[in-house]
Amino acid sequence: MRKQIAAANWKMNLTLQQAETLMDELIATPHELNENQEAVFGVPFPYLISIKNKLAGKKNAFVAAQNCYDKKSGAYTGEVSAEMLKSIAVDYVILGHSERREYFNESHAMLAAKIDICFANGLKPIFCCGEPLAIREADTQNSFVETQLKESLFHLTAEQLTGFVIAYEPIWAIGTGKTASNEQAQEMHAHIRSVMANQYGAAVADSISILYGGSVKANNAKDIFGQPDVDGGLVGGASLVAADFAVIINSLK
């Protein structure tokens, strides 16, 4: 059974004190994870060690970096390497978020390199993909997302992609209050799985956790996660409210 994941993306929010308070509140808020469920917290770089320490001993709860660089080391002032993240026992790394693609011009090739360097350091990528509004309105979202997958993932082996995590984020639904309908989410998640199945076979595709990201909230998570190919969510704003994110965790299948 593939993993069901509630992943928080705190983005560039919160002071350390606020971050620690939020995590304390969430730990104290009733929520439960069974064997095939995980809660993942994508926190700003300066807080990774602190939040990881707070999660010590918590069942199926992990930290994620929000990015890493595609080079091993060197004169890249301000960047953070996969090796650095490995050295502090980070579990996951979010890669290819639409904000990284748009604001920092991250290419398919760069993301492929980032995935490789994460694997080389034992880090689990959460690979983001998704289309902007113009592509959705032109009804070319399937081919757009398929290109993202092919150009960043298709160099990987079936073994590397077994149990992989993909997050589908319709860019037009991130932070806008708009959410893809349950049918739209399921349609794209099924398409992503079919693309992976065509390349790597049904067994690999069925093992991949595909998360939905885009204005997931406490009041819609259960319906979205209830779709057969939706395996949880990558959650932005609602993950900054402990009570809301606890509801989202409890909405996993």
pLDDT digits (tens, 9 = 90+) for 162-221: 999 999 999 988 777 777 899 999 999 999 999 999 999 999 999 999 999 988 999 999
Question: Distance between CA 251 and CA 34 in Å, rounded?
Answer: 12
Nearest to 96 by CA among 121, 68, 73: 68
Residues 6 or more apart from 142 whose CB is under 8 A from it? 188, 191
Tokens 């469920």 locate to 37
User: 97 catalytic, yes or no?
Assistant: yes
Q: Which amino acid is at 102?
A: E
* Cβ-based neighbour number of residue 91 at 10 Å: 18
pTM, whole model, 2 decimals?
0.97
Q: Which residue has the higher pLDDT, 65 or 178?
A: 65
Per-residue pLDDT, 92:
98
Q: pLDDT value at position 154?
A: 98
Residue 121: φ, ψ to 5°: -110, 15
- Could you please state the CATH topology (level 3) that the domain comprising 4-250 is classified under: TIM Barrel (3.20.20)
- Terminal CA-CA length for the chain: 11
- Asked if residue 85 has pLDDT above 90, the reply is yes
- Identify the active-site residue in 99, 106, 131, 169: 169
- Sort strands 209-212 and 165-168 into parallel, antiparallel or unpaired: parallel
- The average confidence (pLDDT) of the chain is 96
Whether 239 contacts 44, CB under 8 Å:
no
The pLDDT of residue 231 is: 98
Across 219-237, average pLDDT = 97
How far from chain centre, in Å, is Cα 153?
15
Tell me if 91 sits within 8 A of 40, measured CB to CB: yes
Asked if 179 and 216 touch (Cβ cutoff 8 Å), the reply is yes
Nearest to residue 54, comparing CAs of 34, 33, 26?
26
Rounded Cα distance between 203 and 198, Å, is 11
pLDDT value for 32: 86
Nearest to 91 by CA among 196, 14, 5, 218: 5
Query: Of the candidates 158, 152, 82, 176, which has an alpha carbon nearest to the alpha carbon of residue 124?
Result: 82
Q: Domain residues of the chain, as ranges? A: 4-250
Annotated catalytic residue within 97, 106, 131, 189: 97
Select from 6, 3, 1, 2 the least CA-distant residue to 251.
Answer: 6
Question: What pLDDT is attached to residue 1?
Answer: 84
All residues at 6 or more sequence positions from 75 whose CB lies less than 8 Å from its CB, including other chains: none
**What pLDDT does 96 receive?**
97
Q: pLDDT tier at 19 (50, 70, 90 boundaries)?
A: very high
Mean pLDDT of 59-88: 98
Condensed to tens digits (0 to 9), the pLDDT of residues 87-146 reads 999 999 999 999 999 999 999 999 999 999 999 999 999 999 999 999 999 999 999 999
